Amino acid sequence: MSKLRVVHYINQFFANIGGEEKADYQPELREGFVGPGMAFNQNKEFADEAEIVATVICGDSYFNENVDSALETVMGMIKSQNPDLVICGPAFNAGRYGVACGTVAAAVNKAGIPAITGMYKENPGADMFKKEVYIISTKNSAAGMRDAVKKMAPLAIKVAKGEAIGASAEEGYLPNGIRKNFFEKKRGSQRAVEMLIKKLADKEFETEYEMPSFDRVAPGEAIKDMSKAKIALVTSGGIVPKGNPDHIESSSASKYGQYDISMFTDLTAETHETAHGGYDPVYANADADRVLPVDVIKEYIEEGKIGSLHQYYYATVGNGTAVASAKKYATEIGKKLVDDHVDAVILTST
């Protein structure tokens, strides 16, 4: 009995080509498995039924900045191998990688070839593609590779064989809006009481219906005298110095930038631009003050309405950026602003 032919899609990092400096790596087809493909081949349940015959590699930035052409090239490489199954990732919490994995897996499914992927629940790709493709829920970093493969392997085989797929709670994929009825061994009241007892005893328990968690931030005290206040600007609108020196990504940003604006009274097309890929950049590129109002702040300072503008502004791109990443940036930026004795912050989006 011949094994299922599997094509694996991974990014430049997991192919050991490089990190962010190689994110513009163009699509490449290699024979056999590469990087995490070894973990699948070492999984007995997978290895008994399937074999990775080829690996398609593409840099995260290249794919997301050239979606149409990159997807066409990647799909051509995949189809050339006549696969029975395509596995993408897992991408964990890497935003651009997750979007690429979801895009490829969804396109493969539409082409009539079974496909699955895996990523962390807060990866932007998860929310974008969970209704189009089975996405195994993973941990938020590559440290969870073994656990991810353990869950992806059996589901991949089921999908490839066209077998019935159970509920998300049973199979380990992210809920996709399709309800699957099944019988629990214990009645609901008993499960609820057991969870309550564990919670009261401060023990770990797993809820059957996870509620969304929203941060509640206590508002700060009102500024008593704005004419003496030091104001800072922070934006998720992607305003960066001309040329984007820190190479902040247009989607699923992996970093933020700190830039000196002490010498500017106005942001022009010659000095600043937007790196954001989620809105029409024409007007922001023509006059970045439309997103980062340096000109108005400086006018208010001259009129005595505001005390001063902080020397630095902080910028990232909110488009597709993971919540966990945004929290990390906010914590780091917030500490810097507190250390620099900033009184208030104006936060701008797009």
Q: DSSP string covering 118-134, please? A: EE-TTSHHHHHHTTTSE
CATH of the domain at 160: 3.40.50.2300
Q: End-to-end alpha-carbon separation of the chain, Å?
A: 56
Residues facing 241 on adjacent strands: 272
Q: How large a percentage of the chain has pLDDT more than 90?
A: 75
Confidence of residue 140 (pLDDT cuts 50, 70, 90): confident
pLDDT of residue 145: 95
Residue 144 lies inside a defined structural domain of this protein: yes
The residue from 133, 151, 171 where one domain ends is 171
* pLDDT digit string, tens, across residues 260-269: 999 999 999 9
**What is the three-class DSSP state of 230?**
strand
pLDDT of residue 180: 65
Residue 249 lies inside a defined structural domain of this protein: yes
* pLDDT digit string, tens, across residues 191-231: 999 999 999 999 988 887 777 667 788 888 899 999 999 99
pLDDT of residue 277: 82
pLDDT at 322 over 80: no
Do 146 and 17 share a structural domain? yes
Mean pLDDT of the chain: 92
Q: b/e map of 226-248 (b: 16 or more CB within 10 Å)? A: eeeebbbbbbbbbbbbeebebbb
Handedness of CA 322, 177, 159, 41 (dihedral sign): positive
pLDDT of residue 212: 66
Do 248 and 148 share a structural domain? no
Please compute the mean of the pLDDT values over residues 139-148 and round it to a whole number. Answer: 92
The residue from 107, 139, 171 where one domain ends is 171
pLDDT of residue 7: 98
Q: How many residues does the chain have?
A: 350
User: What whole-number distance in Å separates Cα of residue 222 and Cα of residue 209?
Assistant: 39
Do 240 and 161 share a structural domain? no
* pLDDT digit string, tens, across residues 125-139: 998 999 999 999 999
Amino acid at 341: H
- The three-state DSSP-derived secondary structure of 174-228 is CCCCCCCCCCCCCCHHHHHHHHHHHHHCCCCCCCCCCCCCCCCCCCCCCCCCHHH
Do 321 and 246 share a structural domain? yes
pLDDT at 162 over 80: yes
Q: How large a percentage of the chain has pLDDT more than 70?
A: 98
User: What whole-number distance in Å separates Cα of residue 252 and Cα of residue 125?
Assistant: 10
pLDDT of residue 192: 93
The residue from 144, 171, 198 where one domain ends is 171
Do 240 and 145 share a structural domain? no
Count CA within 13 A, CB hemisphere, residue 325.
25
pLDDT of residue 344: 95
* 265 DSSP assignment: S
Task: At 263, give phi and psi (nearest 5°).
Answer: -95, 0
Total structural domains in the chain? 2
Residue 133 lies inside a defined structural domain of this protein: yes
Residue 16 lies inside a defined structural domain of this protein: yes
Do 20 and 141 share a structural domain? yes
Residue 231 tokens read as: 């104001």
Do 258 and 148 share a structural domain? no
Task: At 158, give phi and psi (nearest 5°).
Answer: -60, -45
pLDDT of residue 55: 98
Contacts 24+ apart (CB under 8 A), 301-304: 304/227
Do 235 and 130 share a structural domain? no
Confidence of residue 274 (pLDDT cuts 50, 70, 90): very high
Do 122 and 10 share a structural domain? yes
Residue 108 sits in which domain range?
A: 4-171
pLDDT of residue 48: 94
The helix (run of H) or strand (run of E) holding residue 57 is strand 50-57
Do 145 and 16 share a structural domain? yes
Residue 314 tokens read as: 């902080």
Residue 189 lies inside a defined structural domain of this protein: no
Please compute the mean of the pLDDT values over residues 135-147 and round it to a whole number. Answer: 93
* pLDDT digit string, tens, across residues 68-127: 999 999 999 999 999 999 999 999 988 889 999 999 999 999 999 999 999 998 888 998
Residue 200 lies inside a defined structural domain of this protein: no
User: What whole-number distance in Å separates Cα of residue 161 and Cα of residue 159?
Assistant: 5
CB 4 within 8 A of CB 40: no
Residue 199 lies inside a defined structural domain of this protein: no
Residue written as tokens 């989006």? 349
Contacts 24+ apart (CB under 8 A), 198-207: none
Do 288 and 160 share a structural domain? no
Do 36 and 149 share a structural domain? yes
